[in-house]
């Protein structure tokens, strides 16, 4: 039976790094910077030219350069000029500059643990729950911030403490991240070509049954297009969660869509159980088998490297799936490149919504940083000074962006938008109070996600950290089974009549019941301590 108004959270992924399997969610470094007095930290006044972020009495006389690891690429033709402009502001306000080291999206999750293990004296680093923040923090590469943050980022500390954002970043009761709380939700929507739906007289799409009618029409009438050009991505697992009003399953260290099998209700006092034993999962793999045989996605789905959004944008797929950011970006791209296309979307979810954890993005300070006070002052400045934030986030007004009469950010006249890519310096410091609306954003999408706020909550499991040490061997064994047997089931390649019983047997042999018992033991302790 479908459980309305509830959310579920994946607690064990198909990967061997079991300690990081719940989304949710060192020693102090010696510093060369000395405070002359124990003053109360920075006092940045938003947007004020005379604002000062150095703590009163703090000696920031020595100029320093902060080494900062960021996720993303080097940016386009304006990136260096924008960085120079930002650094001029930082030098004036905290007598510091930043030296960003960009690590590509595809390499970040694999490369950064090597940086952490090397003991490098970096100052700032982008961290996130989906980048294994919790498990990495337990290894000691980040500075504990509970004393540093109130002193050198007092306003940000007070804001995040009051909102509860800091509590979500605690690992074993210690703070290693300055999180970046934003308004977003762990829900996905399905986007389709509305012009094609109308062209082939398909009834309005309201659920998966009506979406299947649309996919049939695409299969019959569009020989060069797949209804859903999915590859080995997480989206089909997302759809399982969505159609049953469940939550997301956590991705782990490696890129795989095998997903998790130990899940629990995302509510206080919940107990873990095996997803594979549920009637919902059985119905899901049977449906996917039907879709696979009908040709809704490629017969080579397990070796498919094309991203779903890329296929949709190229006109090779009639459906894409994504979160708020994904869908907004797709509307912008289609408007620019295929303005004759008409789009529409639907969230098949129902009931309450789980807010994205503030730890979905954030910044940490390296445990070996030589300038931790200045690094924290930088984070205070970004979070409290509107001018500095916008210089980091948007660049130079009049050159990389302009603000229209409605207060929306847009592209300067005569400037090619493709040249405006900047370094992704602000991924870990998304300050909503200083953000412009984007003139290109689709208002219908914004309205849809805004409507979730009145029925949205943070997960009570946000701060839960699963210690897999007692079941590490079982976690690794289950991960291997899932990669080999579950992925083909999820994409309909395997016949569930024989493959599902085999998968259930294999995960039991690998020790899934022992893992469930250990998860439940830790959950009981976690809830008892709340």
Rounded to the nearest integer, the mean pLDDT of the chain is 82
Over residues 367-386, the mean pLDDT reads 97
Q: Are strands 262-265 and 272-274 parallel, antiparallel or unpaired?
A: antiparallel
Over residues 200-218, the mean pLDDT reads 95
Task: Give the containing element (helix H, strand E) for 491.
Answer: none
Q: Residues with Cβ < 8 Å from 256, sequence gap 6 or more?
A: 14, 15, 232, 483, 487
**pLDDT at residue 530 in the model:** 63
Sign, Cα dihedral of 75, 79, 82, 84: positive
The verdict on residue 25 lying in a domain is no
pLDDT band at 89; cut points 50, 70, 90: very high
**pLDDT at residue 172 in the model:** 84
Over residues 105-134, the mean pLDDT reads 93
Bin 315: left if φ > 0, else alpha if -120 < ψ < 50, else beta: left
**pLDDT at residue 350 in the model:** 63
Residue 310 has φ and ψ, to the nearest 5°, of -65, -45
Residue 101 has φ and ψ, to the nearest 5°, of -115, 110
In angstroms, the CA 85 to CA 91 distance is 10
Lowest average pLDDT, out of 120-124, 360-364, 487-491, 508-512, goes to 487-491
The verdict on residue 392 lying in a domain is yes
Over residues 518-530, the mean pLDDT reads 83
Looking at per-residue confidence, does 188 or 397 come out higher? 397
Q: CA 16 from chain center: how many Å?
A: 20
The verdict on residue 293 lying in a domain is no
Sign, Cα dihedral of 321, 322, 327, 333: negative
Among residues 424, 427, 425, 420, the alpha carbon closest in space to that of 76 is found at: 420
pLDDT band at 386; cut points 50, 70, 90: very high
Report helix, strand or coil for 9: strand
Q: Residues with Cβ < 8 Å from 344, sequence gap 6 or more?
A: 191, 192, 194, 197, 205
pLDDT band at 322; cut points 50, 70, 90: confident
**pLDDT at residue 528 in the model:** 82
472-481 vs 512-528: helix axis angle to the nearest 10?
120
In angstroms, the CA 399 to CA 413 distance is 9
The verdict on residue 79 lying in a domain is yes
Enter the DSSP assignment of 357.
P
Over residues 453-478, the mean pLDDT reads 80
In angstroms, the CA 301 to CA 297 distance is 7
The verdict on residue 28 lying in a domain is no
List 265's β-bridge partners, or say none: 8
**pLDDT at residue 308 in the model:** 84
Question: Quick check: pTM over 0.85?
Answer: no
Among residues 23, 20, 30, 27, the alpha carbon closest in space to that of 9 is found at: 23
What tens digit of pLDDT does each residue of 219-241 get?
A: 999 999 999 987 655 566 766 76
Q: How many CB atoms lie within 10 A of CB 526?
A: 16
Q: Does pLDDT of 360 surpass 70?
A: yes
What domain range includes position 75? Answer: 64-182+357-429
The verdict on residue 15 lying in a domain is no
Over residues 113-117, the mean pLDDT reads 96
What tens digit of pLDDT does each residue of 29-42 get?
A: 333 343 333 333 33
Query: How many domains would you assign to the chain?
Result: 1
pLDDT band at 461; cut points 50, 70, 90: confident
Looking at per-residue confidence, does 96 or 9 come out higher? 96
Q: Does pLDDT of 486 surpass 80?
A: yes
In angstroms, the CA 210 to CA 487 distance is 26
In the 3-class helix/strand/coil scheme, how is 125-170 assigned residue by residue? EEECHHHCHHHHHCCCCECCCCCHHHHHCHHHHHHHHHHCHHHHCE
What tens digit of pLDDT does each residue of 267-318 get?
A: 777 788 888 999 999 999 999 999 999 999 999 888 887 788 889 999 999 9
- What is the domain-level CATH number for residue 425? 3.40.190.10
**pLDDT at residue 422 in the model:** 93
The verdict on residue 219 lying in a domain is no
**pLDDT at residue 466 in the model:** 75
**pLDDT at residue 259 in the model:** 52
- Contacts by 334-338, CB closer than 8 A, 24 or more apart: 335/440, 336/417, 337/313
Q: CA 199 from chain center: how many Å?
A: 36
List 317's β-bridge partners, or say none: 226
Burial tier of 472 (Cβ tally within 10 Å: 0-12, 13-18, 19+):
middle
b or e along 280-319 (b: 16 or more beta carbons within 10 Å of the residue's beta carbon)?
ebeebbbbbbebbeeebbbeebeebebebbebbbeeebbb
Over residues 177-188, the mean pLDDT reads 87
- How far is the first Cα of the chain from the last one, in angstroms, to the nearest whole number? 30
The verdict on residue 391 lying in a domain is yes
Q: Which two tokens stand for residue 196?
A: 């094609």
Q: Does pLDDT of 207 surpass 60?
A: yes
What tens digit of pLDDT does each residue of 408-427 get?
A: 898 899 888 888 889 999 99
In angstroms, the CA 137 to CA 153 distance is 21
Over residues 246-257, the mean pLDDT reads 35
Q: How many CB atoms lie within 10 A of CB 451?
A: 12
**pLDDT at residue 525 in the model:** 85
């Amino acid at each position: 039976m479908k459980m309305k108004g509830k959310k579920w959270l994946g607690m064990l992924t198909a990967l061997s790094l079991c300690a990081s399997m719940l989304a949710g969610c060192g020693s102090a470094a010696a510093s060369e910077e000395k405070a002359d007095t124990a003053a109360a930290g920075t006092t940045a006044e938003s947007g004020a030219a005379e604002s000062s972020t150095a703590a009163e009495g703090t000696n920031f006389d020595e100029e320093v350069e902060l080494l900062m690891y960021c996720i993303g690429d080097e940016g386009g033709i304006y990136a260096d000029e924008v960085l120079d402009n930002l650094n001029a502001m930082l030098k004036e306000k905290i007598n510091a500059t930043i030296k960003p080291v960009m690590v590509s999206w595809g390499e970040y999750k694999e490369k950064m643990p090597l940086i952490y293990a090397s003991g490098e004296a970096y100052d700032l680093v982008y961290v996130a729950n989906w980048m294994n923040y919790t498990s990495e923090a337990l290894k000691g590469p980040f500075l504990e911030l509970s004393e540093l943050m109130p002193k050198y980022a007092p306003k940000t500390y007070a804001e995040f403490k009051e909102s509860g954002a800091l509590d979500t970043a605690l690992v074993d009761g210690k703070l290693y991240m300055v999180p970046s709380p934003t308004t977003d939700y762990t829900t996905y929507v399905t986007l389709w070509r509305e012009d094609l739906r109308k062209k082939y007289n398909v009834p309005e799409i309201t659920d998966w049954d009506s979406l299947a009618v649309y996919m049939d029409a695409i299969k019959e009438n569009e020989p060069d297009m797949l209804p859903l050009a999915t590859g080995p991505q997480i989206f089909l697992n997302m759809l399982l969660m969505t159609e049953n009003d469940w939550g997301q399953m956590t991705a782990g260290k490696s890129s795989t869509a095998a997903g998790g099998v130990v899940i629990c209700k995302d509510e206080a006092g919940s107990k873990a159980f095996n997803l594979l034993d549920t009637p919902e999962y059985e119905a899901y793999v049977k449906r996917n088998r039907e879709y696979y045989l009908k040709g809704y996605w490629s017969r080579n789905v397990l070796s498919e490297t094309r991203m779903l959004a890329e296929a949709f944008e190229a006109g090779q797929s009639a459906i894409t799936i994504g979160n708020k950011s994904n869908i907004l970006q797709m509307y912008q791209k289609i408007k620019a490149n295929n303005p004759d296309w008409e789009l529409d979307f639907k969230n098949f979810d129902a009931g309450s919504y789980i807010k994205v954890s503030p730890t979905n993005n954030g910044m940490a300070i390296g445990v070996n940083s030589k300038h931790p006070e200045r690094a924290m002052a930088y984070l205070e400045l970004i979070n409290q000074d509107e001018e500095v934030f916008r210089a980091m986030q948007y660049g130079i007004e009049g050159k990389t962006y302009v603000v229209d009469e409605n207060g929306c950010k847009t592209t300067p006249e005569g400037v090619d938008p493709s040249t405006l890519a900047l370094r992704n310096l602000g991924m870990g410091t998304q300050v909503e109070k200083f953000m412009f609306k984007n003139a290109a954003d689709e208002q219908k999408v914004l309205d849809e996600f805004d409507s979730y706020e009145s029925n949205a909550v943070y997960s009570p499991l946000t701060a839960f950290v699963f210690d897999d040490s007692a079941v590490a061997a079982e976690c690794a064994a289950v991960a291997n089974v899932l990669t080999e047997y579950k992925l083909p089931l999820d994409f309909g390649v395997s016949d569930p009549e024989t493959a599902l019983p085999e998968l259930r047997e294999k995960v039991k042999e690998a020790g899934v019941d022992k893992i469930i018992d250990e998860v439940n033991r830790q959950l009981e302790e976690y809830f008892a301590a709340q």
